[in-house]
Amino acid sequence: MWRSPTLAAGGTILVVVIAMGLAAPWIAPYPATEQHMLDRLKPPGGRFVLGTDQYGRDLLSRTLAGARPALALGLGAVALGLTLGVPIGLAAGYVGGRFDDLVMRVVDAMLAFPALLLALLIITALGASTVHALLAIGIANAPGIARIVRSASLALREAEFVLAARVRGERHFYVMFGEIFPNVLGPVIVEATLRVGFAIMAGASLSFLGLGVQPPTADWGLMIREARQYVFLSPWPLLVPGTALAVTIVAFNLFGDGLRDRVGAA
Amino acid sequence: MTHYALRRLASIALILLLVSVIVFAAIHVLPGNAATLILGEYATPEAVRTLEREMGLDRPLPAQYGSWITGVVTGDWGVSLAMKQPVATIVASRLRNSAFLALAALAVVVIVGIPLGTFAALRRGRPLDLAIVTATYVGISIPEFVTGLALLVVLAGPSVGWFPTSGYAELTSGVAEWTRHLVLPSLTLTIVLLAHVVRQTRSGVADVLAAPYIRTARLKGASTRRIVLRHALRNALLPTITVVALDLGYLMGGIVVVEEVFAYPGMGRLIIYAVQNRDVPLLQMCALVVASVYVLANFAADLASAWLDPRVRYS
């Protein structure tokens, strides 16, 4: 891992972000929702290392706590995307023919929606909440993942080990998940890692629009939504969670790109 | 070429049809129907049933889809529930406003991005290249609402006030005023797009520069300028065309957030309005229009690639 600077840098930042998110309740100087009405919109320094927001809540504490919903949503949404996308992609690539045509047409049609728009449609039907945001972003990620898995497994359809398994009389389910899947795992892991960064961004966008995580939870997107009104009085409530968000997304992108170079996948 | 275009057009038609099914299904098949969405969760069952009958929601789903899609094709896009105006009228003016925004951003991206990417490829591994690559990395990773708000603080704050903080000025109120309102939102969109285009151009040019025919040109004594402009860019830019078209899809998503930040009255803000007011007829059409624009842009990009590169037509 240390031979690749991208992988090392991304990995290190990720470990730090995850550790901070996990340890937030113990290392944060204040509870994330505690208000200090006499210390509103304070700049960094003194009792509040990174300043306070419009209710006098400590920005450092809130930003640490905000790592949790961001990571949970990013990882959860991609896990859901994989759960839906991998079997669809494997089946399309393995079965081929008309079935593949049909499935890929639907996938293409779903990819015609910007992911955020697809998520918004789903949120409209379900209502705004953290869990619904995760579901919506997960579903919006599935077609892209299906596409990657499909093209990787299509290439293996006629591979000798696959034909051998079929001649042995293995069940289709086993051939897909036991023979083909382990061999497409590399590109899938790379794709998934890169998607976590974008899923976090999409989740933060939904929260920013008021359609994801609801107040008073400490969440980066929501913090920025609330900071908006006061941005000319104090830029810190925008800058602190904004930086945390950007650093986390950069870390996932670096890590994913580093993995890609390692795996040698497209 | 014509044969290729027609073949692609047929598959586009099919995709657009599927897109309309997805828009309809996303709202109608998932739990919670349009009538409860409109009336809210505290509505009495009788009220819900009455509204369902008025809106035709008690009919089977395929029949509902049928009458909706017939309306879409024949130009009857329905009436917005929240605005009480024909959807077509609202969408037309908002789409125009968003087009200004998107085209301004795309123009800057193409004019600045391609030279910057080419430059980086020519200086590969040197400090300038590293600086450009790092900048694109950061550009891709910062969400638009953070960049937008940051630009707002720096360029539109009370102490600077170069640009308005929000809103839109009609062209009738003067080109200068109109432009002033466009600058910040399109600049925000530009930052992420620029990163995509610069990266694609950089790797495209770098790949082509390694090709044998470039070495031949060099051995013939052609200048770097001639090699880049006449030989390399032609082939290197083909993938960039596709990236620009794909970016249009990104733009369509990006405008949702950016228009909200700058209170710019375009499609993005209209979509948020429709979601917040549970205006199903409006939302359906917005989603369909946005997805169609994206599909058609990709079609245009495919045609452009096929026109520039005969190999594409036969594969």
> What are the tens digits of pLDDT across the range B114-146?
888 888 888 888 888 888 888 888 888 888 889
ipTM, two decimals: 0.84
User: Candidates 3.60.15.10, 3.50.50.60, 1.10.3720.10, 3.40.30.10; correct CATH number of B87-308?
Assistant: 1.10.3720.10
How many Å lie between the alpha carbon of A174 and the closest alpha carbon of chain B? Answer: 32
Lowest pLDDT segment from A34-48, B71-85, B117-131: A34-48
pLDDT digits (tens, 9 = 90+) for B240-270: 777 777 777 778 778 888 998 888 888 999 9
Q: Do B31 and A205 touch (CB under 8 A)?
A: no
Can you tell me the mean pLDDT for B168-177? 76
Rounded to an integer, the average pLDDT of A135-161 is 90
The three-state (H, E, C) secondary structure of B246-308, written as one string: HHHHHHHHHHHHHHHHCCCCCHHHHHHHHHHCCCHHHHHHHHHHHHHHHHHHHHHHHHHHHHH
Find residue B86's DSSP bridge partners.
B79
Cα distances from B88 to residues B20, B26, B73, B83, B91, in angstroms, run 16, 21, 12, 12, 5
Q: Is the pLDDT of residue B37 over 70?
A: no
Q: Do the Cβ atoms of B287 and A242 come within 8 Å?
A: no
> Dihedral sign, CA of A197, A202, A208, A213?
negative
Q: Which residue would you say has higher pLDDT here, A52 or A142?
A: A142
**Taking 70 as the threshold, does the pLDDT of residue B34 lie above it?**
no
| pLDDT, tens only, B290-307 | 888 888 888 888 888 788
Instruction: Report the pLDDT value the prediction gives residue B30, as an integer from 0 to 100.
Output: 61
Q: What is the mean pLDDT of residues A66-72?
A: 91
What is the Rg, in whole angstroms, of the alpha carbon atoms belonging to chain A?
Answer: 22
Contact B56, B67 (CB under 8 A): yes
Q: For the ranges A250-254, B8-12, B97-101, B235-239, which has the lowest average pLDDT?
A: B235-239
| Percent of chain A's residues with pLDDT above 90 | 34
Half-sphere exposure of A142 (CA within 13 A, CB side): 23
Closest CA–CA distance from residue A170 to any residue of chain B (Å):
35
Alpha-carbon distance of A113 to A92, in angstroms, equals 21
pLDDT at A2: 58
> Which is nearest to A259 in space by CA: A14, A7, A2?
A7
Over residues A80-90, mean pLDDT:
95
| B chain contacts of residue A221, beta-carbon cutoff 8 Å | 143, 145
Q: Tokens representing B149?
A: 């708000």
Integer Cα distance of B68 and B24 in angstroms:
9
**Torsion angle of the four alpha carbons B116, B119, B120, B125, in this order, in degrees rounded to the nearest 10:** -160
Residue B31 scores a pLDDT above 70: no
- The string of pLDDT tens digits covering residues B197-225 is 888 888 888 888 888 888 888 888 888 88
Distance CA B296, CA A105 (A): 16
Nearest to B146 among A122, A123, A245 (CB): A245
Q: What residues 272-311 of chain B have any CB closer than 8 A to a CB of chain A?
A: 272, 274-276, 278, 280, 283, 287, 290-292, 294-295
Q: What is the mean pLDDT of chain A?
A: 87
Mean pLDDT of A203-225: 89
Q: Does B130 touch chain A (CB under 8 A)?
A: no
Q: Do B37 and A238 touch (CB under 8 A)?
A: no
At A52, give phi and psi (nearest 5°). -135, 165
The distance of B267 to chain A (nearest Cα, Å) reads 11
Flag whether pLDDT at B29 surpasses 70: no
The mean pLDDT of A225-254, rounded to a whole number, is: 88
Q: Is B213 left (phi over 0), alpha (psi -120 to 50) or beta?
A: alpha
Residue A266's pLDDT is 43
Tokens of B96: 């125009």
A80 pLDDT higher than 70: yes
Determine phi and psi for A211, rounding to 5 degrees: -115, 10
- Containing H/E element for A220? helix A220-227
Residue A229 CB coordination number (10 Å): 10
Question: Which range has the top average pLDDT, A74-78, A101-105, A194-198?
Answer: A74-78
Structural domain boundaries in chain B: 20-73, 87-308
pLDDT of the residue at A143: 93
Helices and strands in chain A: count of H runs, count of E runs: 10, 0
pLDDT for A76 equals 96
Q: How many CB atoms lie within 10 A of CB B222?
A: 15
- What's the pLDDT at A89? 94
pLDDT higher than threshold 60 for residue B180 = yes
- Greater confidence (A248 vs A114) lies with A248
pLDDT-based confidence at A265, cuts 50/70/90?
very low
Between CA A237 and CA A51 the distance in angstroms is 8
Distance of alpha carbon B81 from alpha carbon B269, whole angstroms? 16
Rg (CA), chain B: 24
Q: What's the whole-number average pLDDT of chain B?
A: 83
For A84-104, what is the mean pLDDT? 92
Rounded-to-integer distance, Cα A245 and Cα A218, Å: 13
- The string of DSSP letters for B46-110 reads HHHHHHHHHHTTTS-HHHHHHHHHHHHHHT---B-TTT-SBHHHHHHHHHHHHHHHHHHHHHHHH
Measured distance CA(B242)–CA(B294) in Å, rounded: 12
